[in-house]
Amino acid sequence: MSSHLSADRPAAQPPGRGSVESLITQTRRLRGDVDAVRRDSRGDGSDPEGRWQRALYDLALHQLTDLDAHLAQLRDGPAPPPRAGSLLSRVGSAEWNLLTDEADWSAELFAILGRDRGSVPLSLDELPSLVPAEDRPKLTAMVTDCLVDGRPIDGEFRVVHPGGALRTVHMMGEPVLDADGSTASMWAVLRDVSELRRCRRAVSESRDSLRGPAPRSGPGPRTSREPGDRPGQSASPPWHGLLRFPHEGRPGLDLATAYLPPAASPTRTHRYGAWYDACPLAGGDETLLATGHLPGPDATGGPAVLIGALRGLAAAGTRPGQLPGRIAGFLENTALPPVRSALYCGYRPGTRALSWAHAGDPVPLLFRDGAGHGLSGQAGATLRPGDLLLLHASAPAAVERLVSLAPRLAGAESARDGARIVARALAESDPERTDACVLLARVTA
């Protein structure tokens, strides 16, 4: 695709081959130095500080590798279509002509947005159809500011691929002006930054683990997708940095969690046993969703060991109905207590079929069309786009409170918004609680 420039400014001269080659050499030398320091650093990454350092090294190397590839593209110019999965296959470009309503996409952009190469490029009006509902206002605002006010685009949004997988895309663009100074088209470069965001989340999670659970000065909950901490509040469960949760979602699902540490009490020993997880089931698009509570004083080891066992069973294809018995048998051979409250759900995005099993009292809660109810007395259901599924390990008395949140959850534009609503309601309704967690899954396709 030919490049475009605004009529009110001259074309910038591309850097010379020699200067770009020098930048490439410096980048590769720095990447080698960073890798050498990483390999020579002390520790095997088994402690919180080691995991935090390893995540930072990985993020730095990832960014330097990206920089190397982009500089090489500047040096070499347009190249044949890159192989699938390579860095250059994650960068595409497009132009939308406002006069003819035509769109011109590069070959890479079709793959980035999950479109068939032979399909017709989407117009700007059609582009939001690929984006989750909660991200559409942001995309619309960016495009409107560019076309109406002439502002450059520089922002991120998510796209839903045909199989339901969510990918994060970074978009940079600008208006292209005609001779009269009017906007004739919009040109943009889009990049799949899903892996980069995963690396940054790993740094954040390992940093949270390094800090450990902080004493709390108030009951306010925090959702696991909120960045950073405020003084006196714990953003994550103690074992959070040991295991990665798929915050980018799973096929057909937008996911979010919220964790509430034990309420402050000078007379009671705090116990941290609430846990949650989401992972592939049998290595495919199917997802295992689980929450539970493990009694006992171990703040990190107990839930981490249990979740590790759960992921191993899921990878081996163990169905949700088998998990309560398998987990109980596994824990009998450890020093950990049995799980007395847990939910295990399997979700198939192709048919939107949900199946589940439980230990103790909890059942999944389904919120649809402004109403909520527990899925008790059944072992399966078919979900619809827009449905919100809530997993918890709360006592039966809390279920009525959760179901009563249906009108507020109907206005939640994402699973993250729903998690905030639920967490705050639980914190306000039970000031003497032990630690607790919820997992919300919103059906996206």
Give me the average pLDDT of each 10-residue run along the chain (445 residues). 41 55 85 78 57 66 74 68 46 88 90 90 92 88 88 88 83 86 87 76 54 46 41 49 71 87 59 83 86 72 84 89 90 84 92 91 90 84 92 79 90 85 80 79 88
pLDDT value at residue 269: 53
Terminal Cα-to-Cα distance of the chain (whole angstroms): 32
Rounded to whole angstroms, the Cα distance separating 326 from 323 reads: 5
pLDDT value at residue 200: 62
pLDDT value at residue 205: 54
Do the Cβ atoms of 420 and 225 come closer than 8 Å?
no
Distance of CA 146 to the CA centre of its chain: 27
Reduced to 3 states (helix: H, G, I; strand: E, B; else coil), residue 312 is helix
What's 261's DSSP letter? P
pLDDT value at residue 430: 67
What is the residue type of 271?
A: R
Rounded to whole angstroms, the Cα distance separating 73 from 71 reads: 5
Do the Cβ atoms of 323 and 357 come closer than 8 Å?
yes
pLDDT value at residue 291: 93
pLDDT value at residue 297: 59
Residue 27 neighbours by CB under 8 Å, 6+ apart: 64, 67, 68, 71
- Name the region of 80 (left: φ>0; alpha: ψ -120 to 50; beta: rest): beta
pLDDT value at residue 265: 55
Do the Cβ atoms of 365 and 373 come closer than 8 Å?
yes
Instruction: Classify residue 99 by burial, with Cβ atoms within 10 Å: 0-12, 13-18, 19+.
Output: exposed
Token pair 């110019």 is at which residue?
77
Reduced to 3 states (helix: H, G, I; strand: E, B; else coil), residue 292 is strand
Do the Cβ atoms of 150 and 183 come closer than 8 Å?
yes
User: Closest Cα partner for 244 from 200, 298, 295, 212?
Assistant: 200
**Torsion angles phi and psi, residue 352, rounded to 5:** 55, 35
- The model's pTM is 0.56
Structure tokens at 411: 């206005």
Q: How far is CA 70 from CA 4, 31, 107, 399, in A?
A: 19, 14, 17, 52
Token pair 């698009």 is at which residue?
285
Pairing of strands 253-260, 436-443: antiparallel
User: Closest Cα partner for 8 from 172, 174, 189?
Assistant: 174
Q: Which helix (H) or strand (E) holds 242?
A: none
Rounded to whole angstroms, the Cα distance separating 93 from 419 reads: 35
